[in-house]
């Protein structure tokens, strides 16, 4: 018996890791890093972060959120339909394959799967598979509450992840302005995977795996189903600094998630409010993306060439520039007492004193600051700066 339990436990883990959604997410994270590195090298001849950075952060930044959500879902007893869960994964998989992560928000997966079940019940009510039938799904009952509540929780988590982590992998690239000048824009494209355990009624899985985790409440039986939930984010920043724009987007998404959660809970008394909650979430999330996209179509670039010095577009990790506290958007006016106006002059001035570097920097706020750093033999010979040129 112990061996059987162990085998079924391994099969449960395999169900998660062999899920097509999980496999495609891994490949997508690798491709994210590959295209980012190509873009950075095309603009600056050097990449900002290793190509596997996105893969390493795919789960490391989000697993704790998945754990908390799983505890909430199981603890409160938020039961979902198995057909909805399958549609949810299919929609998420399609969004990953498009590589267009503006639509890779769980609110879209949740709503499309929910309304997909409705249309299946209307036009394909006779469809059944392994005991599941579209005609037996009651979208005005318990599902009208649990699915909107889960959607609200996922939106809140999405906003928190964007607020906290989206600026870590921002990729600068050079672009040409309408006036023919070279300026820097920034692309944030992230992918997170949350391992979440859902609660599904019935014993469909345990029919084939007798020791699959499940429990009985009254006369009803429930099964635990682990699912990799995907959250994607994609946004280009031109006229606004990323550490201002991206957290603002995240906070807006959190607010939308709270609204969906509250309206979803109100569906306990009026089930149609659950439907409204999903529509509110979809519309709110779309408006947040559209507002951010329109605001960044402003022809004014936050990081553009300046006649007063050399403008920083990015700073390599663990470089002398990062240790000095330099950041994108700052303008280097002089190096080691010599005025600089382009990348060559910057490099030549750094060589004046190869062991110690003193910079006069104009901050984003227009204030002039003096920064200095000891340069060691293994440090980057150009301070690790990516500049607008």
Q: Strand 338-339 and strand 356-362: pairing?
A: unpaired
For position 12, what pLDDT does the model report? 57
Backbone angles phi, psi at 362, to 5 degrees: -95, 120
The residue to which tokens 């039986």 are assigned: 221
Q: Length of the chain in residues, anyone? A: 389
For position 319, what pLDDT does the model report? 84
Backbone angles phi, psi at 6, to 5 degrees: -65, -45
SS3 (DSSP) at 237: strand
Q: Count the neighbouring beta carbons within 10 Å of the beta carbon of residue 295.
A: 14
Provide the H-helix boundaries in the chain. Answer: 2-17, 20-44, 53-60, 63-76, 82-98, 106-123, 143-165, 242-266, 272-295, 320-324, 343-350
Per-residue pLDDT of the chain (389 residues; tens, 9 = 90+): 455 545 555 555 566 666 789 999 999 999 999 999 999 999 988 888 899 999 999 999 999 999 999 999 988 888 898 888 989 999 999 999 999 999 999 999 999 999 998 888 777 767 676 666 777 777 888 899 999 999 999 999 999 999 999 988 789 999 888 887 888 999 999 999 999 989 888 665 555 455 555 555 555 677 778 899 999 999 999 999 999 999 999 999 999 999 999 999 999 999 999 999 999 999 999 999 999 999 888 878 888 888 888 999 999 888 888 888 888 999 999 888 889 888 888 888 888 776 778 888 898 888 888 887 777 655 555 788 888 87
How far apart are the C-alpha atoms of 174 and 186, rounded to whole Å? 9
For position 25, what pLDDT does the model report? 94
Q: C-alpha distances in angstroms, 62 versus 8, 58, 194?
A: 26, 7, 6
The kind and range of the H/E element at 129 are strand 128-129
For position 291, what pLDDT does the model report? 94
Spacing of C-alpha 163 from chain mean position: 10
How far apart are the C-alpha atoms of 204 and 22, rounded to whole Å? 22
Tokens of 22: 């999980």
For position 109, what pLDDT does the model report? 95
How far apart are the C-alpha atoms of 290 and 102, rounded to whole Å? 10
Beta bridge pairs of residue 385: 315
SS3 (DSSP) at 314: strand
Q: 310-387: what CATH class?
A: mainly beta
CA atoms within 13 A on the CB side of 111: 23
**CA 281, 283, 287, 293 torsion-angle sign:** positive
Tokens of 5: 């339990």
By C-alpha distance, which of 356, 355, 333 is closest to 346? 333
For position 189, what pLDDT does the model report? 93
Return the domain boundaries, the chain.
Answer: 2-295, 310-387
User: Are 161 and 104 within 8 A, CB to CB?
Assistant: no
For position 3, what pLDDT does the model report? 53
User: Are 174 and 126 within 8 A, CB to CB?
Assistant: no
**CA 283, 289, 292, 296 torsion-angle sign:** negative
How far apart are the C-alpha atoms of 155 and 150, rounded to whole Å? 9
Query: pTM surpassing 0.95?
Result: no
For position 193, what pLDDT does the model report? 95
How far apart are the C-alpha atoms of 147 and 141, rounded to whole Å? 11
The residues, any chain, with a CB within 8 Å of residue 250's CB and separated by 6 or more, are 159, 160, 161, 162, 163, 164, 166
Q: C-alpha distances in angstroms, 126 versus 86, 118, 121, 134?
A: 18, 13, 8, 7
DSSP 211-231: TSSEEEETTEEEEEEEEEEEE
By C-alpha distance, which of 154, 167, 198, 174 is closest to 65? 154
By C-alpha distance, which of 25, 67, 82, 107 is closest to 225? 82
R_g over Cα of the chain: 25
């Amino acid at each position: 018996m112990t061996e059987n339990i162990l085998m079924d436990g391994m099969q449960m883990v395999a169900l998660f890791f062999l899920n097509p959604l999980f496999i495609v997410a891994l490949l997508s994270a690798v491709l994210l890093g590959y295209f980012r590195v190509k873009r950075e090298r095309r603009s600056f001849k050097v990449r900002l972060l290793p190509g596997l950075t996105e893969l390493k952060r795919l789960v490391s930044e989000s697993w704790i959120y998945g754990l908390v959500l799983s505890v909430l879902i199981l603890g409160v007893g938020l039961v979902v339909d198995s057909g909805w869960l399958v549609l949810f994964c299919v929609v998420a998989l399609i969004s990953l394959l498009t590589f267009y992560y503006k639509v890779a928000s769980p609110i879209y997966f949740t709503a499309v799967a929910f309304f997909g079940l409705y249309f299946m019940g209307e036009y394909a009510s006779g469809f059944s598979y392994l005991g599941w039938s579209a005609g037996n799904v009651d979208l005005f009952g318990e599902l009208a509450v649990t699915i909107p509540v889960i959607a609200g929780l996922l939106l809140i988590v999405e906003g928190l992840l964007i607020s906290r982590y989206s600026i870590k992998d921002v990729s600068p690239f050079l672009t040409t302005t309408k006036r023919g000048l070279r300026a820097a824009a920034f692309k944030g494209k992230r992918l997170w995977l949350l391992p979440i355990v859902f609660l599904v009624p019935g014993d469909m899985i345990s029919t084939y795996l007798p020791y699959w985790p499940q429990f009985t409440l009254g006369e009803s039986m429930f099964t635990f189903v682990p699912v990799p939930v995907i959250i994607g984010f994609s946004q280009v920043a031109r006229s606004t600094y990323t550490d201002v724009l991206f957290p603002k987007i995240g906070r807006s998404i959190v607010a939308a998630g709270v609204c969906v959660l509250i309206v979803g809970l109100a569906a306990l008394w009026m089930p149609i409010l659950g439907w409204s909650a999903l529509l509110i979430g979809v519309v709110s999330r779309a408006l947040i993306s559209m507002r951010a996209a329109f605001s960044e179509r402003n022809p004014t670039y936050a990081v553009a060439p300046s006649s007063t010095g050399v403008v920083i577009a990015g700073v390599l990790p663990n470089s002398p520039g990062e240790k000095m506290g330099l950041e994108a958007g700052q303008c280097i006016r002089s190096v080691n007492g010599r005025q600089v106006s382009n990348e060559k002059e910057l490099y030549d001035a750094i060589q004046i004193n190869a062991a110690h570097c003193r910079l006069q920097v104009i901050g984003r706020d227009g204030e002039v600051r003096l920064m200095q750093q000891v340069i060691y033999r293994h440090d980057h010979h150009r301070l690790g700066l990516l500049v607008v040129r």
